[in-house]
Amino acid sequence: MASATTTGRSDPGQVAVDDVDLGLIGELQADGRLSMRTLAERLHISRAGCYARVERLRRDGVITGFAATVDARRLGRTLSAHVYLKVRQHSWKDVREALREVPEIEHGYLVSGENDIVLFVRTRDAENLRELVLERLQTMDDVLSSNTALVFDEL
């Protein structure tokens, strides 16, 4: 039987998983469309056991959903950038809500340090990036300043 993994369970809401659970998670992260039969075969467990484990991981909030991975360039979003925002103190919740309405933002992070928010954005071209940063992000009431770094290649 696989050993339980409890990586420093300091959070009482953290869920104990074993090597089989980690294997299921890894396989599903690589391809969320795998059938239970294929998952079970790859991990050398029964289909019923596989199904029960995946359902438990979903119920416990470890697996939060399944999504398609999209090549943004094929959709015409060929320019990527990180946009760093400084926001007015104590306004991050309002800024976060406004940023959720911006479709060019692929990921956003509240961070410590010199900046308050880091965004990963994808746009069609430099003109669209300029419009996004100068006309939409910088004009938000609680945004104090921004800094943009173009992404030349994704590793």
Q: Positive or negative CA dihedral for 14, 15, 21, 24?
A: negative
> Tens of pLDDT along 73-127?
999 999 999 999 999 999 999 999 999 999 999 999 999 999 999 999 999 999 9
- Where are the domains positioned within the chain? 4-59, 72-151
Right CATH for 72-151 from 2.60.40.640, 3.40.50.2300, 3.30.70.920, 3.40.50.300: 3.30.70.920
d(CA 117, CA 13): 26
Check residue 10 and give its pLDDT. Answer: 60
Three-state secondary structure call for residue 138: coil
The verdict on pTM exceeding 0.85 is no
Each residue of 76-108: b (16+ CB within 10 Å) or e? ebebbbbbbbebeeebbeebeebbeeeebbeeb
Q: Do domains 4-59 and 72-151 have the same CATH topology?
A: no
* CATH class in words for 4-59: mainly alpha
